[in-house]
Structure 1
Amino acid sequence: MKEWVQIIDKLEEILNSNESFALATVIQVEGSTYRRVGARMLIMENGNWIGSISGGCLEGDMLKKARLTMSSQEVKWVTYDTRDEDPFALGIGLGCNGKIDILIDPSRTRIENFAKQLKLALASENGLELFSQWPLTDGEVFELKEFINPQPRIWVFGNQFDSHSLILMAKQLGWKVMWVGNTLKMSNEIKKLCFKVFDWDNFEGIQSSDLLVQMTHDLERDVEICSKLNEIPDVFYWGILGPQKRLERIKDKLSESQIMLKNGIHSPIGLDLGAEGPDEIAVSIIAEIIAKKNKRDAQPLKLRGKAIHEA
């Protein structure tokens, strides 16, 4: 997700300039590859790039080939087959055991159209299907359909210092952060990382695909927040910091007002990592959310017993 945001930001900067660039797209894979179909790498004429099409072993060679397409202004199809027993058969060290096909496109028009579609998908509530076409040298046309999920939006309720760790990590992943708390007590530096900041009583705009994390360290405040959130149609993820007994106390408090708290709330929040301290707790919360988003059970990969990525 972070790559998508960075690519859009860079394209908005350079599409109105005279700078040449190309967009490399993973279009087909077989076997074990670091990136999957749809991965992109935006390459600028000065040699800088954003995104990736491998774990670092193909990017240098891709840079050279992309510069050639900038000169010819023709789409180039590149295949890397890492299934050969000789890991240096292509002149570069490769760590995977698979085949990857990549299209390098220098067309400003096609790249601009892709950027517009991507921006709409990321800003949508439920994601959108993108459709791309490339003309090949033999007169054929290659087509790619892919589904782009919306940019995750996480709501962090609470302005204690442990909220900083969660906000920093979410921002690092390219998520949009909505911060709710006492705005007078919020760190100005952390505020700058947030998409929106709300005071306790005026938050609004929660969507069904949003992620809600309560970490107020204040029981009465959590009861108030739960009362408001309970009125909102189901959201994708809702978690509350604290032990199970604390959640039961919140439920008891709400029941006094004839409010039955929804099922499915994650509390205690996060995966069982034995996390200690704000940073590790933030890791466990983020990990639980990612596992839910990807419909995984968060077990060790060595126990998965099948391909890491679904076909």
Structure 2
Amino acid sequence: MEDIHVILKEMTEAGVDGVLATIIEVEGSAYKKEGASMVFKKDGTQVGMLSAGCLEEDLAARIEHNHLGEKTETLIYDMRSYNELSWGEGSGCNGVIHVLVEPVTVELIQKLQQVKICLDKRQFVTSVKFLNSSSNERDCFITEDQEVFGGVAEDLPHLLPLVKKVNPGKQTLTHSDDVFVQTYEPKPRLFVFGAGKDAMPLVSFAGKSGFSVTVSDWRPALCGKANFPDADRILQGFPNEVMPDMNVTPDDYVVVLTHNFQKDREIISYLIDKELRYLGILGSGKRTKRLLGTREVPSRITSPIGLSINAKGPEEIAISVVAELIHLKNSSTFKRRPARETS
């Protein structure tokens, strides 16, 4: 799903004259699932990914030599066979993959610009694609406030029942012979307090993994775009300056790693009563208890942070933390680990 944010940025900022390909159905196993998208640009470059290379080369060749993408159509790739002439030989997939290809038109870019505006406002948007049409002019989008843009008037009475089949807040889809419906979600937000050297790989890995990252620190020498090119926002200021205006929500993730005991305590005092998806504090459970002034670390706080993989050094620790965030983001049954007593 994170590919759509890269695609939207490319198509709405630079404009693209090419072909949009979307996986609309998978039978069996595949590297990426329904909803994965990519764009094949006219200059030969590609944005996004459908597979680990199993499909892209063939699609690019068909677009270049067979005029694929001049109209909306669906291709079916059967990756199950081991016949040396089949698609399955040597591929990393073992399923049947249905790929919808459609031309990138001015009208589609205009619709996607509106989608990006909604996502940037933290709103879910549901896309409805009509598969039995040779063009994408009927395709439309519906916001979580039930506002509709795109499409044609005669289709509108039939859209809302379709949209109700998709569960907002989850990467769920519905597909039939006539339509493909999916919900685009805003990027999950990660707030990182502390701009030290260990924050740099954390922000980089999180940004590349689909999080919208905000970095906050009071030290101007550390808190800059040069150190955090993958951050979406950088807030420079002391905790008492930035925290009151920081509107965190129950869907947000927060990591505190300033390495300054008093600053950590100040930041946590603003966050402790907030409902958050994740509140992680760098350091041992023993240190976190001292920060909180409690005998136990509350279950809503994760400390130490990161999956237990014996990580050493900033990069490995960052990988363990981002893996924990991804696990939580993708799992409704994620359970926090009890705080460890090690220092």
- Shorter-normalised TM range: 0.7 to 0.9
- Tell me which of 199, 211, 217 is aligned to 1:175: 211
- SS, match of residue 293 in structure 2: helix
Aligned residue number for residue 295 of structure 1 = 331
- Counterpart mapping for 1:48-63 below 5 A: 48-63=45-60
Unaligned runs of 5+ in 2: 135-175, 335-343
Q: AA paired with 2:277?
A: F
Per-residue CA shift, 1:228-268, capped at 9, x if unaligned? 11243x11111000111111112217x9xxxx986411111
Residue pair 2:215, 2:231 contacting (<8 A) in 1 also? yes
CA shift in 2, pair 1:63/1:73, >3 Å: same
In the alignment, structure 1 residue 131 sits paired with structure 2 residue 116: no
Give the C-alpha shift of residue 90 in structure 1.
Answer: 4.0
- SS, match of residue 43 in structure 2: coil
Aligned residue number for residue 137 of structure 2 = none
Residue pair 1:212, 1:238 contacting (<8 A) in 2 also? yes
Q: Distance in 2 between matches of 1:68 and 1:133?
A: 26
Unaligned runs of 5+ in 1: 299-311
Q: AA paired with 2:282?
A: L
Q: Distance in 2 between matches of 1:68 and 1:147?
A: 33
Per-residue CA shift, 1:252-308, capped at 9, x if unaligned? 17x9xxxx986411111111010001111111110111111111778xxxxxxxxxx
Give the C-alpha shift of residue 69 in structure 1.
Answer: 7.4
Q: Distance in 2 between matches of 1:83 and 1:171?
A: 34
Aligned residue number for residue 10 of structure 2 = 10
- SS, match of residue 78 in structure 1: strand
Q: AA paired with 2:127?
A: L
TM-score normalised to the size of structure 1? 0.82
- Tell me which of 214, 220, 233 is aligned to 1:196: 233
Q: Distance in 1 between matches of 2:329 and 2:86?
A: 38
- SS, match of residue 180 in structure 1: strand
- SS, match of residue 302 in structure 2: coil
Shifted more, 43-52 versus 281-290: the winner is: 43-52
CA shift in 2, pair 1:278/1:65, >3 Å: same
Residue pair 1:127, 1:148 contacting (<8 A) in 2 also? yes
Q: AA paired with 2:241?
A: N
Q: AA paired with 1:7?
A: I
- SS, match of residue 22 in structure 1: strand
Aligned residue number for residue 184 of structure 2 = 148
Give the C-alpha shift of residue 182 in structure 1.
Answer: 1.6
Q: Distance in 2 between matches of 1:265 and 1:45?
A: 49
Per-residue CA shift, 1:173-202, capped at 9, x if unaligned? 242221111242315312444222221222
TM-score normalised to the size of structure 2? 0.75
* Greater share of helix: 1
Shifted more, 42-51 versus 145-154: the winner is: 145-154
Q: AA paired with 1:248?
A: K
- SS, match of residue 116 in structure 1: helix
Q: Distance in 2 between matches of 1:261 and 1:131?
A: 45
Aligned residue number for residue 150 of structure 2 = none
CA shift in 2, pair 1:110/1:82, >3 Å: farther
Aligned residue number for residue 309 of structure 1 = none
Q: Distance in 1 between matches of 2:121 and 2:298?
A: 26
**RMSD of equivalent CA atoms:** 2.9
- Tell me which of 241, 244, 247 is aligned to 2:288: 247
- SS, match of residue 168 in structure 1: helix
Aligned residue number for residue 255 of structure 2 = 213
Residue pair 1:114, 1:132 contacting (<8 A) in 2 also? no
Shifted more, 60-69 versus 36-45: the winner is: 60-69
